[in-house]
Structure 1
Amino acid sequence: MTSLPDDAARSLEVAVEQEGFAFVGHGPMRGLLEHFGSLDDWDRFAETWSDLAVDSYLAATGRQRRRRHCVFSAAAAGAPILPEPHQPHYQSLHYNSLQGDIERWFEPVLPEAATSDSLATVIGFSRAVFERVARASPRWHIEVHQFRIEPYPDQPGEPTPEGMHRDGVDYVLVLLVDRANIARGTTSIHANDGNELGSFTLAHPLDAALVEDARVFHGVTAVTPLDPSMPAHRDVLVVTFRAVPDVPPTSPL
């Protein structure tokens, strides 16, 4: 498995360990990603955000959020990252008071995105960082979420309608894919006692945040169009990692 340069790896490791999160700007982030593969198909990958399905679970409160979802897994000790059959996204009410305790079936990520070099590169990078922070190489359950938020002049878009929250996983990568005619959208990170630990705005493609979900809460302010007469969108890739126990093989009878 490809590894990060020692200085970059240590910097990210220290930030996440000490603060529970790290912000990486688009310039350094591109360099880090390219240690794990190609971004040559990034433009085609980003174009798939124009074909996301409406999040029907939020349709009652507005249709500003579109998304697709898919799942991967990786066994321990540097095993390949493998696609899993399409399955629901589930969070308990403890983590999502708005939509917890239900299986949410979202439209799958399109094949051209799920099999792209860019997505493989992003997942490989994320896995390397999080395994370094965890100081372990567990079996991972990996979920990929494509989000598009489309605000309107009379109705702001809510990137995190559940408010300040945790996702119920171990680690989260949030990567900006595109941002057009968008105002606001500030990410803030909070400790369990509510104190703000930091804030930043994902403003350029490949701006990224890495979060240790078990330690901190995160949320994003509502977004609005800069020019109310023009379309607006905020496109984000979210990749979550949850360690799962290895299931021993069943002994023959």
Structure 2
Amino acid sequence: MDEISESFWASAGPPAFQEPPPAVAAARESLGSVGVHLIPAATVRSHLGTGEEEWARFATHWDDLSQDRYAGGEGRPTPEGRHRDGVTLVSWLLVSRNNASGGRSTALAPDGPELLSATLDEPASLLLSDDRRTLHAVSPIRPLDPSRHAHRDVLVTTLAPARQWRVPDALPMALRVGRTSAARSSRTRPSSATATAPSSSSASAPR
């Protein structure tokens, strides 16, 4: 360690640990025991200090993000089915959804049993999963009104150890932003639904 680094850590002193908020403590306990945890939208907004109006302003910027083709047709957020992302922790934050049914998120144990299954239907709902111990998948979305377009926007965060970093216990973070959409049905085939791919701000779209 060079002199500048030694001086920095010496002046920093020991970290001041505080008791985590109840919602954080509950999430930590669930991740440690079950491997997955769902935080309600109201709790997330309370911790972020945002109301519905602020969240709506945040969601309006979604279309400004760069897009990258990922998923196959028919509104499938995870065309590969149940899988792992190869990281330590994965989170899914629902930004918005419109005219969409389905999109049910499921976390499973590696040997098959279902650990949690929930539809993120309220903006700010947050799902956390220990990717080392679980698999995950999301069911396809379909338009509630076949004559209108449907979409489901999710912000995915992945965390994994960075052993090459000099800061102890550092975790690099990757954000993946995306939209799974299902187009309105054609007049000749009113029961059909085709989909466009979700988007991504990094390497791949959310799963």
Change (3 A) 1:14 1:57: closer
Which residue identity does 2:58 align to in structure 1? F
Q: For the residues of structure 1 that align with 2:121 and 2:89, how far apart are their CA atoms? A: 22
Which residue identity does 2:23 align to in structure 1? A
Q: For the residues of structure 2 that align with 1:246 and 1:55, how far apart are their CA atoms? A: 29
Change (3 A) 1:18 1:226: same
1:49 corresponds to 2:49: no
1:239 corresponds to 2:164: no
1:178 corresponds to 2:93: no
What are the superposed Cα offsets for residues 23-73 of structure 1, whole Å, 9 maximum, x if unpaired?
Answer: 111111212333xxx678543331122234553355xx44xxxxxxxxxxx
Q: Match of 1:29? A: 44
Change (3 A) 1:170 1:3: farther
TM-score w.r.t. the length of structure 1 is 0.54
Deviation at 1:192, TM superposition (A): 0.7
Question: What are the within-5 Å matches in structure 2 for residues 79-158 of structure 1?
Answer: 156-158=74-76
Change (3 A) 1:57 1:206: closer
Larger radius of gyration: 2
Change (3 A) 1:165 1:3: farther
Q: Give the % identical residues.
A: 40
In structure 2, the gaps of 5 or more residues are 1-15, 167-207
How many residue pairs are counted as aligned between the two chains? 151
Deviation at 1:172, TM superposition (A): 1.0
Q: For the residues of structure 2 that align with 1:6 and 1:53, how far apart are their CA atoms? A: 34
Match of 2:109 among 191, 196, 218: 191
Superposed CA RMSD: 2.6
Which residue identity does 1:199 align to in structure 2? S
Verify the 8 A CA contact 2:30 2:37 in the aligned structure 1: yes
What are the superposed Cα offsets for residues 130-156 of structure 1, whole Å, 9 maximum, x if unpaired?
Answer: xxxxxxxxxxxxxxxxxxxxxxxxxx3
1:159 corresponds to 2:172: no
3-state secondary structure, aligned to 1:243 = coil
Change (3 A) 1:28 1:41: closer
Q: Match of 1:206? A: 124
Which residue identity does 2:100 align to in structure 1? I
What are the superposed Cα offsets for residues 180-229 of structure 1, whole Å, 9 maximum, x if unpaired?
Answer: 00011111110010111110010010011011111100110000000010
